[in-house]
Amino acid sequence: MGVRRRGEPAPPAGAAVPAAFAMMAATAIMAAVAVAIAGDAGGDAGKAGGATATGGAEGRPGDQVRPPAAGEVRDPPENQKYSLRVLVWNFWSFAGGMLDGPAGMAESTDLIKGHDSDNAGNLYWTECDAPVIRRYSPKTDRVETIAGSLRGLADGPISRARFGGWTYNSTNLICVSGDGRHLFVRDALGKGLWRYVDLEAGTVTSLGQWHHFKGGYFIIAKDRMGDIYAFVTSGEEPPDCRGYKKLKVAPCLRNGWYAFDRYALDVEKMRFYFHCRGPVTMVDLKTGEGTVITGKGKERPINTSGPLETTVFLCPTGMSLSPAGRFLYVGQGDGSSCYRLDLEKKQALVFGGVDDGGFGWRETGDRKNSCQMTGCTGWPAATVFLPDGRGYWANCWGMYALTPLK
């Protein structure tokens, strides 16, 4: 059994025993949080229904959440605090197990590779060392593998479809529609093909390659409102597919168009966000012009809050937009953190334990109580928020549900 995460600690001797590792990991997280924040931080990995790391409350995703009014779209409050509840444990090792079952007891083979959620809270992700797609359902509070088995490239019924899969340094660019009917994923080891999973019909179809497509990049991304759009950076038209809407854009031949685990798209403002393992770039899809919105060098230490122009990332990972578009969330893999970029105030905050309990976005100029204090590395680390305020966050320990605290 081995670990291949650069700079990461070796797995415990009992890693092959799920319950033992779960308790050790929970203990490590809780001990770190106790140092980072005042107050209680509790969790119990062996408890059916999942473990929590909070400043107080415990419960399933959706507890203490006020449903939005009809037609209402809102961002989470600036100072919103959350409880963390583990849904899936991550086992880092080559011989780790992949186990479906109740939240808090399910296991990941190695590293959760990109995640996205529909508006009902059904969460989808791919695995690093297994060519499968998995789902967490808040209705049943369980994790299940819904597609994939052995490596390969096979379309057809979802029960027989095969995927090339993903590795530590490959991107999946996963996105699922807000209505939960359509899912797209870039098959990194399957020739870079976009694969369309029709969740309604239960079928898988291969589309075109992500790169070298009609003179540009073939982009599929989810808008902050939940619809999925496709465009080609050369200005050409993408292929027909019932799962997305075609977006007419100005040609933009910038290199990269890389976001590791997720893109971010705001169709209302015709803005598209990506990074090429460096500064975050915003592209005006009406003109094709790109603007770098974060720092380019070592202007400020990583894992610290401050102005966007001096914010730097150490190997950024996935990204997502808040429901109303004010906040852009960016994971930082090698930097072990997750940022919230306030696109209105031009300010970046780091996720971590807050002084009076719970977790939230910290206005701090140093690394005190950053998410490193919770023992996470954040691959992919970008939080994904639902219209009702709930959220999901993946890090090296596994997948967490974020529940707003009153």
At position 186, the amino acid (one-letter code) is R
Number of domains comprising the chain: 1
The token duo for 60 is: 């399933």
Cα end-to-end span (Å), the chain: 43
Q: Is residue 7 domain-resident?
A: no
Q: Is residue 148 domain-resident?
A: yes
Location of structure tokens 């001990």: 31
At position 14, the amino acid (one-letter code) is G
Q: Is residue 1 domain-resident?
A: no
Q: Is residue 241 domain-resident?
A: yes
Q: In whole angstroms, what is the distance from residue 309 CA to residue 214 CA? A: 34
At position 110, the amino acid (one-letter code) is D
Q: pLDDT tens across 146-168, in order?
A: 999 889 999 999 999 999 988 77
User: CA 195: distance to chain centroid?
Assistant: 19
Q: What is the pLDDT of residue 170?
A: 76
Q: pLDDT tens across 84-122, in order?
A: 899 998 876 555 578 899 999 998 876 677 889 999 999
Q: In whole angstroms, what is the distance from residue 225 CA to residue 163 CA? A: 28
Q: Is residue 41 domain-resident?
A: yes
- pTM for the full model? 0.80
What CATH number does the domain containing 372 carry? 2.120.10.30
Q: Is residue 12 domain-resident?
A: no
Q: Is residue 255 domain-resident?
A: yes
In terms of residue numbers, what domain contains 338? Answer: 18-405
**pLDDT tens, per residue, the chain with 406 residues:** 333 333 333 333 333 334 433 433 443 333 333 333 333 333 333 333 333 333 333 333 333 334 445 467 789 898 899 998 999 988 765 555 788 999 999 988 766 778 899 999 999 998 877 899 999 999 999 999 999 988 999 999 999 999 998 877 777 889 999 999 999 999 987 778 999 999 999 999 999 888 878 888 899 999 999 999 999 999 999 999 999 999 999 998 666 665 566 889 999 999 999 887 778 889 999 999 989 999 876 677 777 888 998 888 877 777 889 999 999 998 876 666 788 999 999 999 988 877 777 888 887 655 554 444 343 334 445 678 888 889 998 877 788 999 999 8
Q: In whole angstroms, what is the distance from residue 104 CA to residue 85 CA? A: 8
Closest CA to 195 of 161, 168, 170: 161
